[in-house]
Amino acid sequence: MEPIEIFERYLNQLITILEKAQGFCAEQTIKETELLEERLAPDMFPLKQQISTAINFTIRICAPLANNPHLNVPINTKSFADCIASCEQMIQRLYELEIDQHFADNLPMIQSTSGFQENEFHAMEYIYAYGLPNFIFHLSMVYSILRKNGVPLSKGDFDGYHAYPEGFYFDAD
């Protein structure tokens, strides 16, 4: 799979997760804006920032592969519908990039800031050792914050592969 296909797949999983969160809020009469402010820990980003960062990591990683400068796209996180629309728009935007099939051989080193650290990467390292893990980290935080707040998500919602019967759970013993 090419990087864009991987990101598309997991942006679609993020859409699945966000749709479930949206439905949960409607069923439980919870304000979406309140859930979007929830955090896993006090010193971590709130849910809306985790969503925005995950979505933006896709273009942040793929744009340099198309010899485009670092792109950061404003993501609307006022509601789950806005977040879902942002995922859909990002998928479209990713496919508008023109990535050469031989990008790993043709690109100079890619520079990126990680927190307060300046880094320089070869293209393959940038994608697989830096980009994908960071994207998956923020996607995992979205999943974790929602689970912590009672949204009924499964591993299958996260990866799209796992399936369990209704009511199944793992016994801790």
Q: For 106-156, write each residue's pLDDT tens digit.
A: 777 888 888 899 999 988 898 899 999 999 999 999 999 999 999 999 999
Does residue 60 fall inside a structural domain?
yes
The answer to whether residue 19 sits within a structural domain is: yes
CATH number of 46's domain: 1.20.120.450
**Which is it for the CA torsion 71, 64, 17, 39, positive or negative?**
negative
Q: Which residues contact 162 (CB under 8 A, 6 or more apart)?
A: 154, 155, 156
Tell me, yes or no, whether 164 lies in a domain: no
Task: Out of 8-17, 57-66, 134-143, pick the least confident.
Answer: 57-66
Q: How many domains does the chain have?
A: 1
Assigned domain for 84 exists:
yes
Q: What is the pLDDT of residue 74?
A: 84
* Inside any domain, residue 165: no
Please tell me whether the overall predicted TM-score, pTM, comes out greater than 0.95 for this model.
no
What count of Cα atoms within 13 Å lies in the side-chain half-sphere of residue 140?
A: 6
- The range of the structural domain enclosing residue 133 comes to 3-100+116-159
With a cut of 70, say whether residue 69 has pLDDT above it: no
